[in-house]
Amino acid sequence: MSDIQLEVLELGNPKLRQTARPVEDLAHSDMQSLIDDLIGTMEQSNGVGIAAPQVGVDLQVVIVASRPTLRYPHAPQMDPIAMINPQITPIGAEVVKDWEGCLSVPGIRGLVPRSRVISVEYQDRDGNNQQRTFQDFVARIVQHECDHLQGYVFIDRVETTRELITENEYHKLIIP
């Protein structure tokens, strides 16, 4: 954990639209502090995930950190997982739509279709190869964050712009 809060780039910044490069030297101290700073920035922003391109670093690093929220009260509480060079494989054909937001797209929520169950291969921060399966909310976070590595944000994934709403209207939906 770090007290550093990095500036989070917002929609319109061209760095959010780049394709991130694979990490080659994970043991480098800069990589370890990047991971700590990403976790710190995510936690201070009250996010459940963040990707390196959101802080202007074009490397394949994402942080995933599910916790219960108003909309997902049964979401698992988990310590932040750093995924380096992640590769997602959908498991099954089931696609579900649900609301997403993003630190880089403040004030907006969108209804985004995602695979319900995925497998993800990645290296952890110690350089060990991992393969894990996630479903539902956590699978959604992983897919959202990995999209950032390809230069996509969630508003690219909505089926119609009518499924984009403001944060205020979103809160009316979940707290009627």
Nearer to Ni ion, 7 or 25 (CB): 7
Q: H helices of 110-175, where?
A: 136-149, 167-174
Residue 161, amino acid:
T
Stretch touching Ni ion by CB under 5 A, among 65-73, 78-86, 99-107, 133-141: 99-107
Nearer to Ni ion, 61 or 102 (CB): 102
Counting contacts by CB under 5 A, is residue 102 touching Ni ion?
yes
Which residues neighbour 84 within 8 Å (Cβ) at sequence distance 6 or greater?
Answer: 23, 26, 60, 61, 122, 123, 124, 125
Which residue, judged by CB position, is nearest to Ni ion in the bound state? 102
Stretch touching Ni ion by CB under 5 A, among 31-39, 68-76, 97-105, 118-126: 97-105
Nearer to Ni ion, 8 or 176 (CB): 8
DSSP letter, residue 66: -
Counting contacts by CB under 5 A, is residue 16 touching Ni ion?
no
22, 23, 90, 103: which is closest to 55 by C-alpha?
103
Sign, Cα dihedral of 87, 80, 82, 51: positive
Question: In the annotation, is 145 catalytic?
Answer: yes
Q: Which residues are catalytic?
A: 145
Contact residues for Ni ion, defined by CB under 5 A: 102
